[in-house]
Structure 1
Amino acid sequence: MRGTSEASRKAVLKAFGPVASASGADGMKLGRELFVVVDALDGSASLRRALTDPARDADAKAALVKHLFGGLDSRVTDVVADFAARRWSEDLDLRVAVEEAGVEAMLAAAQNAGVIETVEEELFQVQRLLEGERDLLVALSNRSVSREIRLELLEGVLKGRLNEVTHALLRRAVEKVRGQRLITTIKLLVQAAADRRGRLLASVVSAVELSAAQRTRLVTILQSAYGHEIQLNVAVDPEVLGGIKVQVGTEVVDGTVLARLDEARRRLVSQR
């Protein structure tokens, strides 16, 4: 998103956060209803233009939202009307922002139920599974395959073993495969869950499984460096040969043997 849309997204989501938190078990309902709005926006360019037209009065946009979605929960129509009252760089950005609000509502339900950490871990494990199973990832991401077939394939993988919120978010990700890669969508869900818990997400790739003591030590180092609680997600990849690679946000600290060998190779080449 460009600056104008990003500012609108942040402002509305910040106001919606406490509403989602106070919704309790209703968070799942709010999330599903917000996804209904997203689907309507997906299916109608004229609706997106009407709700993002800067020349149109905010009250008129709110009235249109109430007219079209009056059968939904008032908390849903309120946040959609708030989104519509803002300014957007592109009409498609409104759809993305409403989708994020739906995710926020579902994660709030998980947090209220005391299972947000479980949801985050399950999303991460599915992310790692798909990163290691390229054929499966391609099949789930293939927009030329019908939605029903993709969802059936997903259900065959999940086998009903995940939390309700995890399951709903993954179904949504597969159901609405868009421009960005499916694996990117899942990574963003993991990040959103960490954000909901008030933690920075540190993604770690290691040649071998880290012991509990090593994990604790790494968390302590990262918390000291960033001054913030850290959620550590560790994946094992034997191809790194040794050491670890840590990513926090956009910052990457690569201490793997592979990285060091690659650096040595580049130095040798530059000296020829």
Structure 2
Amino acid sequence: RAYEGAPMAGLEELKKKLQPLLFDDSDKGGVSTRVPFPEDTCDSYVVSDGGTINLLSRSFGEYNINEHGFHKRSTGPEEPDTGEKAYRCASEDMHIFGPIGSGASSVVQRAIFIPVHRILALKKINIFEKEKRQQILNEMRTLCEASCYPGLVEFQGAFYMPDSGQISIALEYMDGGSLADVIRVKKSISEPVLAHMLLKVLLGLKYLHEVRHLVHRDLKPANILVNLKGEAKITDFGVSAGLDNTMAMEP
């Protein structure tokens, strides 16, 4: 995400740091040979000695991630062609305060992105378990293409720490907690307030269904975050999936 006034690395600079591992020109006379995608939608991955990890998916595309940030190299056949994307979101640019919460597959920490003094939420997921790699791909597939869409929590980038084997997905920090937290404290929310809060959530769902052809599959108050301005946004796309057919998109 291009922050105004931030010392952002350009696309070409990030591409050099996130050197692709999927091409081998050494024995091909300079002709690149792509490693084929798996036959199904399950992911595969490669880790370089320099600490860059490549996540591949036939459906989702190719992602290079290291300590310097995140680079989406291409889209998969099921995704619209939106071109390359690069995010400068380096580990050394983060000051981590402590945990916000945790779940079965991830830990979320609050951090400041030092170059722009912005508070973010870092969702840390272990890369070496297949189910968690699929969760990472689901999250990045959904949010990378809609980083500022109303009703969806904003994607700010990602980075990989070789020492811990974790990918940190940087997300917009929602300072009001989840809708489940609000209900637990307030006991009830008036219909006008709830209608105002959830309008953008419905817009986000409409975008996911009609434009991206995705379903969230785990929508509940705990996965709707709110901020102190009263805005509500959907999060946790780890089990999201594509709609099976056009009949599923009928209203």
Tell me if TM exceeds 0.5.
no
Q: Output the TM-score relative to the length of structure 2.
A: 0.28
Higher strand content, 1 or 2: 2
Q: Looking at both structures, which has the greater relative contact order when contacts are Cα pairs under 8 Å and sequence separation is at least 6? A: 1
- Structure 1 or 2, whichever has the larger Rg, is 1
